Amino acid sequence: MTAVIDASAVRIDGVSRIFGSGSHRVHALDNVSFDARPGEFVCLLGASGCGKSTLLGILAGIDNPTSGTVDVGDRQVGLMFQDSALLPWLTAGGNVALPMKIRGVPRADRKARVEQLLALVRLAGLADKRPHELSGGMRQRVSLARAFAQEADVLCMDEPFGALDAMTRDLLHDELERIWRETGVTILFVTHDVREAVRLGDRVVLLSSRPGRVAEIFDVGLPRPRRIDSPDVAALAVAITDRLREEVVRHGH
Ligand SMILES: Nc1ncnc2c1ncn2[C@@H]1O[C@H](COP(=O)(O)OP(=O)(O)OP(=O)(O)O)[C@@H](O)[C@H]1O
């Protein structure tokens, strides 16, 4: 693996992924290239099936590209999913501690860090609650704390707020933006919600469907903090939606 140059935390270069063969062959990604600077918030936007999850899997090292390269240097890559995926038999604190336990962090250090992380997502004092005792939004906050417990330099988030109501999602956007600024982590955030992408991203990478290709990269350039319902966010979201629609029409799905 070649080292990434300092200007990039993540470099994706000509990545293609083909699943299966013969009549079962699926061309999921085709020659996808873009990069993310250290501390950048990049949103990946595209219609269903454009290969967003495949790309995150490759970035996280769960899957390999058929061709092309992904270079994160010696950076740690963490993952967070749409479903909070908390282990129901563990407390909120136990779930947050899990990535640290796996890394071999001593018990006393884990406990202090869990408290810190739960405070970061505004769940201080709730470490002993079990997932079923928490609301959907609170579970997703625990999941967010667990994602940060991975101490990743690059965090890949796969539609993390997709299943939440608009109000909870709005609050979590604020939380995520605050934590992102405080930690300086590089974020790759998958969504199919155009406004969410514009609300959060420094840049929005628009992917076309089957095979997934980079259709266009938008610099958001709006001052932060942003509101999802602000006229600026709405105007850029309309322009990106028009572009996305062109892609969907062009490819027939
Ligand atoms: N392991 C696999 N074997 C075969 N085909 C796969 C596999 N994983 C993904 N695919 C196919 O690759 C394409 C891209 O899938 P992927 O899940 O990456 O898309 P996505 O953009 O994340 O979709 P969604 O927004 O619906 O979650 C789809 O056609 C999917 O069926």
Nearest-CA residue for atom 18 of ligand 1? 51
Asked whether the predicted pLDDT for residue 109 surpasses 60, the reply is yes
Query: What does the pLDDT average to over 135-155?
Result: 90
CA atoms within 13 A on the CB side of 50: 25
**Coil, strand or helix: which one is 162?**
coil
Q: Is the CB of 47 under 6 A from ligand 1?
A: no
Residue 46: per-residue pLDDT: 84
Q: Is the CB of 26 under 6 A from ligand 1?
A: yes
Query: What does the pLDDT average to over 134-148?
Result: 90
CB-based contact 226:242 (threshold 8 Å): no
Q: CATH 3.40.50.300 region(s) of the chain?
A: 1-76+152-253
174: number of Cβ within 10 Å: 13
CATH classification code of 1-76+152-253: 3.40.50.300
Asked whether the predicted pLDDT for residue 82 surpasses 80, the reply is no
Distances (CA, A) of 18 to 59, 110, 251: 16, 41, 18
Q: Is the CB of 53 under 6 A from ligand 1?
A: yes
Residue 228: per-residue pLDDT: 94
Q: Is the CB of 21 under 6 A from ligand 1?
A: no
Asked whether the predicted pLDDT for residue 1 surpasses 60, the reply is no
156 token code pair: 């890949």
Mean pLDDT of the chain: 90
Do you find a cis peptide bond into 131, omega within 30 degrees of 0?
A: no
Residue 253: per-residue pLDDT: 55
Give the Cα separation of 138 and 143 in Å (integer).
Answer: 9
Global pTM reads 0.89
* Strands lying side by side in the sheet with 77-80: 77-80, 154-158, 186-191, 41-46, 203-208, 213-219
Give the Cα separation of 178 and 42 in Å (integer).
Answer: 16
Strand-pair category, 213-219 with 77-80: unpaired
Residue 212 DSSP code: B
Q: Is the CB of 54 under 6 A from ligand 1?
A: yes
Nearest-CA residue for atom 5 of ligand 1? 19
Nearest-CA residue for atom 30 of ligand 1? 49
For 133, residues 6+ apart whose C-beta sits below 8 A from its C-beta are none
Where does the pLDDT of residue 249 fall: very low under 50, low under 70, confident under 90, or very high at 90 and above? Answer: confident
Task: Give residue-wise pLDDT tens across range 166-222.
Answer: 888 888 899 899 889 988 999 999 998 999 999 999 999 999 887 889 999 999 999
In our burial notation (b when 16+ CB lie closer than 10 A, e otherwise), range 51-87 reads: bbbbbbbbbbeebebeebebbbbeeebbbbbbebebe
Helix (H) or strand (E) holding 19: strand 10-19
Task: Give residue-wise pLDDT tens across range 42-62.
Answer: 999 987 788 888 999 999 888
Mutate which of 24, 26, 247, 253 for ligand 1 pocket (most atoms within 8 A of beta carbon): 26
> From the alpha carbon of 50, which atom of ligand 1 is closest?
21
Query: What does the pLDDT average to over 98-122?
Result: 89
> From the alpha carbon of 20, which atom of ligand 1 is closest?
4
Q: Is the CB of 91 under 6 A from ligand 1?
A: no
Nearest-CA residue for atom 1 of ligand 1? 19
Task: Give residue-wise pLDDT tens across range 175-188.
Answer: 899 889 988 999 99
Among 87-91, 135-139, 220-224, the range scoring the smallest mean pLDDT is: 135-139
